[in-house]
């Protein structure tokens, strides 16, 4: 994906998935690439239309939740780009879990019952619902793996103030409930997700993407109970299947491990799974949009001009 130089641009940052441009120290342009990451490592090949899927789901969900808390998004100039307010990030990710799966299950299955200061009850099976959703925060790392952290440590280490944490905790529970309701309308269960927040002055905003396959896990509701009763794997829409494939091929992002070869068939499978999730979550047919670098640039410049 090309790098751009926009009017009034003051900074550029290439993340694992997004290219982020700072405009006049007041606005951000985020372009969702087709890069895919797992275990905090960018995999070797891009996934067709992944950026469009992420950007359009995030825009849909930010619009659907804007009455719960203010968010950063102002416009989506193209299918895979977003323009919004530049916030000072709070240095935590608010991970919330309705079911015990993924990292929570791996921790539990290793015999541990404490995750980020939250006690998980004995006698649970993989993918069971928690009695109520739990928040298991992680610290935001600029490089390498994010780390689990408890609410108490976040406040005691002044990573986030007690006042601000109370606000983002309230927002996290409310956003998750809304996300679950939106998913239920589509026959899905929002299993777990994460939210990132930032501030402009004293006001807290929801940032980045929400309820996308990169930040969330979904199960199909139809047949969930039957699969649980038989201890069968749940049918899901998320990036977890990529992580599972990597684990099966002896890769978890650890030092010395090599990312396994990704065949064209496997790349197409991943792309189709992302498109499937879009259509299930949004409830609309996915329409692939290919755009040239010049068209992308012109559309974003026009959107910048409208807000500056």
Confidence at 39, pLDDT banded by 50, 70, 90: confident
Query: Looking at residue 214, what is its pLDDT?
Result: 81
pTM: 0.90
Domain housing 17: 9-86+267-307
Residue-wise pLDDT for 196-213, tens only, equals 999 999 999 999 999 988
Within a domain: residue 255? no
Within a domain: residue 1? no
Same domain assignment for residues 207 and 142: yes
Residue-wise pLDDT for 122-146, tens only, equals 999 999 999 999 999 999 765 555 7
CA distances from 143 to 15, 44, 99, 139, 242 (A): 10, 18, 28, 11, 21
Query: Looking at residue 143, what is its pLDDT?
Result: 53
Count: domains in the chain:
2
Same domain assignment for residues 151 and 272: no
Within a domain: residue 253? no
Using an 8 Å Cβ cutoff, are 220 and 190 in contact? no
Same domain assignment for residues 126 and 108: yes
**3-state secondary structure (DSSP) of residue 300:** helix
What average pLDDT does this structure show over 44-63?
Answer: 95
Same domain assignment for residues 135 and 191: yes
Within a domain: residue 272? yes
What average pLDDT does this structure show over 254-273?
Answer: 93
Same domain assignment for residues 232 and 93: yes
Same domain assignment for residues 71 and 145: no
Same domain assignment for residues 116 and 199: yes
| Mean pLDDT of the residues in the chain | 94
Same domain assignment for residues 45 and 96: no
Within a domain: residue 42? yes
Confidence at 236, pLDDT banded by 50, 70, 90: confident
Within a domain: residue 202? yes
Same domain assignment for residues 98 and 228: yes
Q: What are phi and psi of 299, to 5 degrees?
A: -65, -40
């Amino acid at each position: 994906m090309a790098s751009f130089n926009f009017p009034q641009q003051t900074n550029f940052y290439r993340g694992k998935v997004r290219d982020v441009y700072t405009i006049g120290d007041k606005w951000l342009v985020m372009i969702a690439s087709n890069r895919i990451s797992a275990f905090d490592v960018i995999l070797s090949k891009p996934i067709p239309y992944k950026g469009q899927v992420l950007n359009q789901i995030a825009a849909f969900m930010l619009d659907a939740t804007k009455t719960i808390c203010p968010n950063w998004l102002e416009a989506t100039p193209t299918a895979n780009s977003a323009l919004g307010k530049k916030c000072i990030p709070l240095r935590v990710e608010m991970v919330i879990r309705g079911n015990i799966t993924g990292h929570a299950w791996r921790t539990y299955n290793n015999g541990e019952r404490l995750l980020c200061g939250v006690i998980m009850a004995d006698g649970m099976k993989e993918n069971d619902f928690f009695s109520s959703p739990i928040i298991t925060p992680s610290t935001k790392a600029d490089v390498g793996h994010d780390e689990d952290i408890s609410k108490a440590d976040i406040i005691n280490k002044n990573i986030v103030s007690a006042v601000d944490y109370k606000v983002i905790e309230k927002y996290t529970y409310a956003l998750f409930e809304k996300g679950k309701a939106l998913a239920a309308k589509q026959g899905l269960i929002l299993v777990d997700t994460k939210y990132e927040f930032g501030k402009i002055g004293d006001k807290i905003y929801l940032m980045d993407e929400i309820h996308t396959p990169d930040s969330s896990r979904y199960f199909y509701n139809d047949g969930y109970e039957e699969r649980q009763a038989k201890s069968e794997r749940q049918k899901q829409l998320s990036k977890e299947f990529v992580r599972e494939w990597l684990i099966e091929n002896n890769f978890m992002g650890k030092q010395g491990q090599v990312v396994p070869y990704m065949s064209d068939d496997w790349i197409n499978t991943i792309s189709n799974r992302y498109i499937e999730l879009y259509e299930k979550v949004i409830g609309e047919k996915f329409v692939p949009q290919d755009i040239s670098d010049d068209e992308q640039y012109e559309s974003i410049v026009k959107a910048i001009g409208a807000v500056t």
